[in-house]
Structure 1
Amino acid sequence: MTGPVLRVRGVTKSFGGAAALRDVDLDLYPGEVHALMGMNGAGKSTLVQVLSGVHQADRGTVEVDGHAHPGLTVRRARRLGIAFVPQRRELAMGLTVAENVMLGALPVSRGVVDWRAVHARARQALAGLGLAIDVRRPAGELTVAEQTMVEVAREVRRGGRVLVLDEPTACLSAEAAGQIRTLVRRLRDEGVAVVYISHYIDEVMGIADRVTVLRDGGVVRSGPAAGFDAASLVRDMVGRDVVSTRPERPSPKDELGMAVRGLGRGRVIRDFSVQVRKGEVVAVLGPAGDAQSGLFDLLSGRVRPDTGAFEIDGRSVPFGKVAASLASGLRCVTGDRRALGLVPELSVDENLLLAGDRFARRRWHRAGDLARRAEPLRENYGVVALAGNPPAGTLSGGNQQKVLLAKWLETEPVVAFLEDPTNGVDIAAMADIHALVDALAARGVAVLLASSSAEEVLRLADRVVVVRAGRVVAERDVPGLSRDDLVALAVGGAAS
């Protein structure tokens, strides 16, 4: 093995007297995927910001190719080949793919942009990574996975040799996440050093060559990925065992909370039917991109279906009307918390109270009123926010998800539709959210769960509805099923 392309030694960083990093060491080699793991607040983001020049370390050194670079800035880090692709996409959405890939280096001939060269070089940059994306498409029309790929292609085109990917598969379908992982492996094979930040332990174990775990700003353990297993990795991250076990819940009631019959929209959802009793958790399981991905839009009233009937608590609910869906007692919690779930610019407390104030037909503007009314929600849902009631968009993914759940689930739902409720959250936040779903069912709410995790379905659901080609093809009671049974059902095999 050649020497490290990047070496961190004794890096320490504090903010206002609070230590974010404590004597951190890290070695990153060409042609490896190095997973950076830790709970929210462990120091991952601060370390990445030091490496990319956003913050300067109080103490310690960052070396690139054996040379120390004190006072590293963003511009200098980029010149050295250190590139950062954040979880929140940073493309110019109104520009084309080609313009984004070539941003800052548009070829000019006689004072005029040579668009033929722009398109040709962008295609070359994408093709070099095995990507077939139309370079003339506006970036805003791409899927989230495609946007990530375009950002990666741009950074590699700029000469990125060290690529830091922050939660690149968060809030993606299984299929899209697989595309990102394929791209990461290709980068590794071409000699790029990849720092991979993820909360998904199975994903990390499948893609990483080495792992470094941070806790409370310090390195707990670092070494080859083969030396870790899921249980030890969780202990290293959290400092204790975290087990989300299925509790004894009251038996579901005989009374139906929700009934959907013959729901259809295009080729995505065809003759979809499901019934959920009060106090029951029913999971929707199927291939990525199948019916469950469109249920939020249809049930919430954002999109009108072609066919179907819909009842909540025995009363018919019209499709295509958000107000009618809400008035029926249905609360739909989106899997896209950034675009559809929260208002990132509003404060944590304003987001917590937004749905409740809507139903009460009032808005409270005084900070004292907000804090007094929001405090019980923060406590009940375990929201850990920064001091000063900051914008919700500044919170960690796990805390944003808890704010989103609190916002809707404290408005007395009859039925809750939860779309990937633990997508992109850390292991402790996941256990907290599972407990919230248990409590929801225990108080008699009918829960329809769309989850991309077989483990989550086994942990939470009483029944599972299997969907293929937009249709329900099987229905099973979950107790007694194994993970292999669920996978077989999802892909069309026979479950025992």
Structure 2
Amino acid sequence: MRDVDTATPTPTRAPTAPILTLTGIGKAFGGAAALRDIDFDVRAGEIHALVGMNGAGKSTLVGVLSGQHTPDDGILTIDGQVLTGLTPRRAREHGIVTVPQKRDLVPTLTIAENLLLGELPRRGGVISWKAVDRAARAALDEVGLDLDPDVLTGTLTAAEQTMVEIAREVRRGGRVLILDEPTASLGGAAAEQVRTLVRRLRAQGTAIIYISHHLDEILDLADRVTVLRDGRRRLTVPVAELDEAALVFAIAGEHVDVERPPSVRTPGDDLLSITGLVVGHRLTDLSLRVRSGEIVAVLGPAGDGQSVLFPALSGQLSPDAGTLDIDGAHVPWADVRAALRSGLRCVTGERLAYGLIPGLSVDENIVLAEDRRARRRWIAWRSLHRRAAAMRERFGVRTIQADPPVSQLSGGNQQKVLLAKWLAGAPRVCFLEDPTNGVDVRAKADIHRLIDALADGGAAVLLASSDVAEVQRLADRVIVVTAGRPTAILDTAETTRDELVALTVGGSARE
């Protein structure tokens, strides 16, 4: 990863009048109220965090701010000017820009081409590549990024891609920058790179609306925080007036236990054994054992060695070297049926790309992995819904309609559907890849309890994650992987969070 200027100047200006103000905003879809009487504003040189559970109204509010949704009630003003009929184009003309959670870059184009896409300077009808280079370097310099504009965007790290997207929106005149989960899929060091850039933009006077499920990040980064719940604004206060417990209560409306419960598990015999695993240059010589009733985490920066464990264990690829044994029996790599017969279940971190079928309903997705009758020409729908209902109840899947398309659910409920699909049959060995990525605080607590229950029931659980807090909450032991190599094996209870963060960026643990 290239070095980025890590200076993090703090704003010294006094609070200013809001650039953007929403007053009494309401929005309904099909008679269901998504937003009710929302007041919200953001000031120049401020990071204003917008938080809430999935379905609380954050996405709808962002849609109103960016011109994608026309509010049914209320007033929106920019620089004191009342706006009506706001569209995405008009929002951009007024300097309101959005960096979505899903990256919107063309990987086969250079950084410069992505920065100026749709407006490449021309001379006599021909693209002036010298002008492209000058404009791209100026855009990168404006936000303090030391990147080569001629590099293909697809070769960048996830953090660098996010920062290029931010630079593109700033270059386009963004004065109000909406960042939707910019660090959701990033590890500690990579996430800090993005936060450093956000702080720099704040110091330059940009008004930033910051959406994140990482509450520690909100408390560290934001100046003010607004909490939405059930489509209503429940709280707007300076972050300095809150701690994590108070913020969790405001988001959920109830106490949510996010602490690690006292361990009552006694691990048994080895169930999962991986020896000498090599996957190209991404992962080298990983060996580990997971016992019955134990949770072992493989922790590393996002995109590092732990990210290739899912394709290896799930049978998507055949590693270059290494062996896989379950309960003492050898399991061939890239043999999905053999892995399933052995009791191994793998849950992807990319739920909509690889885990669920968005066009199918919740119940169809839940039973898909175990429904042998899918091969027949007929489906016993009553039986399907009855079995799915039991799994919905067990895994806490909440829906408004009886059996909606899974694509209509919140991220947390989609993740619970995915877990129900693969884990309802009491598997012996579970591999979970970033199991709470992009879910809210209540759904995260629910999923953590489900994972605890798996281990309490005697399963061997292997967790691949870039989330240090989650690893500390769940794992009994942790294997740290940096630059594709295992660098430490630790008892989580005897290791601090700071030590784990240091190890993931190449530091050392306390002697």
| TM-score, structure 1 as length reference | 0.90
Counterpart mapping for 1:219-258 below 5 A: 219-247=233-261, 251-252=265-266, 254-258=268-272
* Contact 1:282 1:449 survives alignment (8 Å): yes
Structure 1 CA distance, aligned partners of 2:364 and 2:154? 28
SS where residue 384 of structure 1 aligns? Answer: coil
1:485 deviates by 5.7
Structure 2 CA distance, aligned partners of 1:359 and 1:180? 48
1:267 deviates by 4.7
1:278 deviates by 1.7
1:417 aligns with 2:427: no
The sequence identity of aligned pairs, in percent, is 57
Cα–Cα, structure 1 residues 364 and 440, in superposed 2: closer, same or farther, change >3 Å? farther
Give the corresponding residue for 1:312. Answer: 326
Query: For 1:330, which of 334, 337, 344 is the aligned residue?
Result: 344
Give the corresponding residue for 1:400. Answer: 414
1:102 aligns with 2:110: no
Partner amino acid, structure 2, of 1:354: L
Structure 1 CA distance, aligned partners of 2:143 and 2:249? 36
Give the corresponding residue for 1:155. Answer: 169
Q: Deviations over 1:204-238 (max 9, x none)?
A: 11111111111122222112211111111111111
1:60 deviates by 1.1
SS where residue 368 of structure 2 aligns? Answer: helix
1:216 aligns with 2:216: no
Give the corresponding residue for 2:19. Answer: 5
Give the corresponding residue for 2:463. Answer: 449
1:114 aligns with 2:128: yes
SS where residue 56 of structure 1 aligns? Answer: coil
Partner amino acid, structure 1, of 2:93: R
Structure 2 CA distance, aligned partners of 1:172 and 1:458? 17
Gaps of 5+ in 1: none
| TM-score, structure 2 as length reference | 0.88
Cα–Cα, structure 1 residues 267 and 246, in superposed 2: closer, same or farther, change >3 Å? same
Partner amino acid, structure 2, of 1:337: R
Cα–Cα, structure 1 residues 447 and 145, in superposed 2: closer, same or farther, change >3 Å? same
1:431 aligns with 2:453: no
SS where residue 5 of structure 1 aligns? Answer: strand
1:195 aligns with 2:209: yes
Q: Deviations over 1:144-163 (max 9, x none)?
A: 43332232222222211111
Counterpart mapping for 1:27-106 below 5 A: 27-93=41-107, 95-106=109-120
Higher alpha-carbon deviation: 244-253 or 425-434: 244-253
Partner amino acid, structure 2, of 1:2: T
1:345 deviates by 4.3
1:276 aligns with 2:290: yes
Partner amino acid, structure 2, of 1:165: L
Give the length in aligned residue pairs. Answer: 496
Q: Deviations over 1:19-78 (max 9, x none)?
A: 221211112111111100111121111111111111111111111001110222222111
Structure 1 CA distance, aligned partners of 2:114 and 2:404? 31
Structure 1 CA distance, aligned partners of 2:141 and 2:378? 53
Give the corresponding residue for 1:378. Answer: 392
Q: Deviations over 1:436-484 (max 9, x none)?
A: 1012112221101123334333332233334455454544444455445
1:259 deviates by 0.7
Taking only aligned residues, the RMSD between alpha carbons, in angstroms, comes to 2.8
Give the corresponding residue for 2:473. Answer: 459
Q: Deviations over 1:354-411 (max 9, x none)?
A: 3224797568768766544433332222223453744434432222222222222125
Higher alpha-carbon deviation: 62-71 or 366-375: 366-375
Structure 2 CA distance, aligned partners of 1:359 and 1:262? 39
1:259 aligns with 2:273: yes
Structure 1 CA distance, aligned partners of 2:135 and 2:486? 46
1:124 aligns with 2:138: yes
Structure 2 CA distance, aligned partners of 1:196 and 1:476? 34
Structure 1 CA distance, aligned partners of 2:373 and 2:141? 51
Partner amino acid, structure 1, of 2:25: V
Partner amino acid, structure 2, of 1:71: G
Partner amino acid, structure 2, of 1:187: L
Partner amino acid, structure 2, of 1:423: N
Structure 1 CA distance, aligned partners of 2:431 and 2:203? 41
Structure 2 CA distance, aligned partners of 1:123 and 1:388? 53
SS where residue 199 of structure 2 aligns? Answer: helix
Cα–Cα, structure 1 residues 487 and 111, in superposed 2: closer, same or farther, change >3 Å? closer
Structure 2 CA distance, aligned partners of 1:283 and 1:25? 42
Cα–Cα, structure 1 residues 102 and 274, in superposed 2: closer, same or farther, change >3 Å? same
Structure 2 CA distance, aligned partners of 1:287 and 1:53? 36
* Contact 1:250 1:279 survives alignment (8 Å): no
Structure 1 CA distance, aligned partners of 2:377 and 2:158? 34
Structure 2 CA distance, aligned partners of 1:33 and 1:393? 31
Cα–Cα, structure 1 residues 123 and 396, in superposed 2: closer, same or farther, change >3 Å? farther
Higher alpha-carbon deviation: 324-333 or 366-375: 366-375
Structure 2 CA distance, aligned partners of 1:38 and 1:300? 34
Structure 2 CA distance, aligned partners of 1:141 and 1:483? 30
Higher alpha-carbon deviation: 409-418 or 241-250: 241-250
* Contact 1:200 1:424 survives alignment (8 Å): no
Q: Deviations over 1:105-151 (max 9, x none)?
A: 22222223334423432232223222344444554554443332232
1:339 deviates by 3.3
1:103 deviates by 2.5
1:179 aligns with 2:193: yes
Structure 1 CA distance, aligned partners of 2:228 and 2:358? 27
Cα–Cα, structure 1 residues 198 and 144, in superposed 2: closer, same or farther, change >3 Å? same
Structure 2 CA distance, aligned partners of 1:84 and 1:363? 47
* Contact 1:253 1:279 survives alignment (8 Å): yes
Cα–Cα, structure 1 residues 459 and 21, in superposed 2: closer, same or farther, change >3 Å? same
Structure 2 CA distance, aligned partners of 1:20 and 1:384? 17
* Contact 1:162 1:195 survives alignment (8 Å): yes
* Contact 2:120 2:132 survives alignment (8 Å): yes
Q: Deviations over 1:254-278 (max 9, x none)?
A: 3321011122334543332111112
Give the corresponding residue for 1:354. Answer: 368
Give the corresponding residue for 2:7. Answer: none
Cα–Cα, structure 1 residues 62 and 366, in superposed 2: closer, same or farther, change >3 Å? farther
Cα–Cα, structure 1 residues 230 and 494, in superposed 2: closer, same or farther, change >3 Å? same
Higher alpha-carbon deviation: 416-425 or 265-274: 265-274
Structure 1 CA distance, aligned partners of 2:152 and 2:365? 31
SS where residue 59 of structure 2 aligns? Answer: helix
Give the corresponding residue for 2:9. Answer: none
